[in-house]
Structure 1
């Protein structure tokens, strides 16, 4: 069983799964969408074999490695005053209403967004909280606020919003692959091996 976040499934996880299936087509993979903190709990209790989650990963019982880093972008209502810019400075969002994920479910991401804003000199004013990515984008499209979001191959044709790179920040979101040191599942170690080879190929091509 493999857990994943929205960011993982919109990032490098699909290519990793494809590489594993090509190498070991007889091995079935069960996937479950879980928040990062839930994955850490499920890994510790052996309800998951592997997790793809937002770092950082703590715990001596876990092995982990970075599989993807992606920059943050500004997500704005289509008619927002900053939408005409090619790139948006984070500091220009001071005073804006923000739409963020619910802190309980998004506890690994919201603090990173807050820290990004603090670096620009302000604390984001949270006007709305949403349970998932689609809800966040829907609320932004409705003009309820703006947000900062990892640029995980987002669909730039989403109606009602515009997505702009940040001009004054190179902060990135890290997606980690984690597994138990004590795992007795041989497929876990083959998965780690195949993932490592794929990441080496990606790194060499960049």
Structure 2
């Protein structure tokens, strides 16, 4: 049984006339009759009564008609779904992110993406950089946002966001009276620092920028999330050097001041596995690239 047989059957079942059905199908009557015979042989039942009074559906034919219509409808749905998936218009996209991306435009990017591709279901998972890299390698994520461009060869990256570091301090800290804070002003201050294990790049970046100004930070606390850094600072448990976006966290009790010194920037990269083919992911990565180019990072 082939889909052609089903189409021929349904047209004949509607017309109940071989000549009219053949004309609708743009074929002659003999091929139509042959295909109906092949279908009946495949089904193992007569689907039409043929006599001098015309053509009529048998009881088996009437029952088969419902199933044939459903089969062709399902086949058409499958065809359309395959085309939409190939075009990246439907599907599921699993995106990992570091917490700071909530203040670095990720919600806005996702809203734009969902408006453009409403058929794609996006599932978010907050993980640190190394956890995302592991999940990508094991096929558990389709794309992620991490604090490093140093990733395994199987992964590709594109710069998603760049911004300066700022000083985060308790709201009543004396340095809050200044418009800008020099890194040397932080000598001897207890630091709250992003965990080396969670993001070795960020840890070494902040450590190195302090060392370049003649001191090593006195690390009091290490945490796994930027919000945790800001929260501890807001409770008077130290100072921190954080990405500028964290000033938008709205954490009561924390104050933020620009650094007076030129420092390396804070960067986030979009990362994904280069294979297998994934049109929805590719649309998402292209949107990230476009947003970055518009921001001129």
TM-score, normalised relative to structure 2: 0.64
RMSD over equivalenced CA pairs, Å: 1.8
- Mapped to 2, the partners of 1:202 and 1:76 lie a distance apart of 28
Listed as ranges, the matches of 1:3-14 within 5 Å are 3-14=96-107
Partner of 2:37: none
2:233 to 121, 124, 140: 140
Q: Secondary structure at the match of 2:270?
A: strand
- Mapped to 2, the partners of 1:156 and 1:46 lie a distance apart of 32
Q: Secondary structure at the match of 2:290?
A: helix
Partner of 2:208: 115
Listed as ranges, the matches of 1:101-180 within 5 Å are 101-152=194-245, 154-155=247-248, 157-180=250-273
The higher-RCO structure (CA 8 Å, 6+ apart) is 1
Listed as ranges, the matches of 1:33-72 within 5 Å are 33-72=126-165
By how many angstroms is 1:76 displaced? 0.9
By how many angstroms is 1:157 displaced? 4.8
Partner of 2:274: 181
By how many angstroms is 1:137 displaced? 2.1
By how many angstroms is 1:130 displaced? 2.7
Q: Is the 8 A contact 2:231 2:251 kept in 1?
A: no
Partner deviation per Cα, 1:136-160 (whole Å, 9 max, x = no partner): 2232122221110011152375322
Q: Secondary structure at the match of 2:256?
A: strand
By how many angstroms is 1:25 displaced? 0.9
- Mapped to 2, the partners of 1:200 and 1:103 lie a distance apart of 30
Partner deviation per Cα, 1:131-190 (whole Å, 9 max, x = no partner): 433332232122221110011152375322210000012321110001111132221111
| CA 1:79–1:107: 2 relative to 1, 3 Å | same
Q: Is the 8 A contact 2:159 2:292 kept in 1?
A: no
Compare 152-161 and 87-96 and name the one that shifted more: 152-161
The yes-or-no answer on 1:191 pairing with 2:284 is yes
Compare 157-166 and 86-95 and name the one that shifted more: 157-166
Compare 78-87 and 95-104 and name the one that shifted more: 95-104
- Mapped to 1, the partners of 2:108 and 2:221 lie a distance apart of 34
Q: Which has the higher helix share?
A: 2
TM-score, normalised relative to structure 1: 0.91
Q: Is the 8 A contact 2:193 2:223 kept in 1?
A: yes
Aligned length: 204
Partner of 1:92: 185
Compare 126-135 and 75-84 and name the one that shifted more: 126-135
Gaps of 5+ in 2: 1-93
Q: Which has the larger radius of gyration?
A: 2
Gaps of 5+ in 1: none
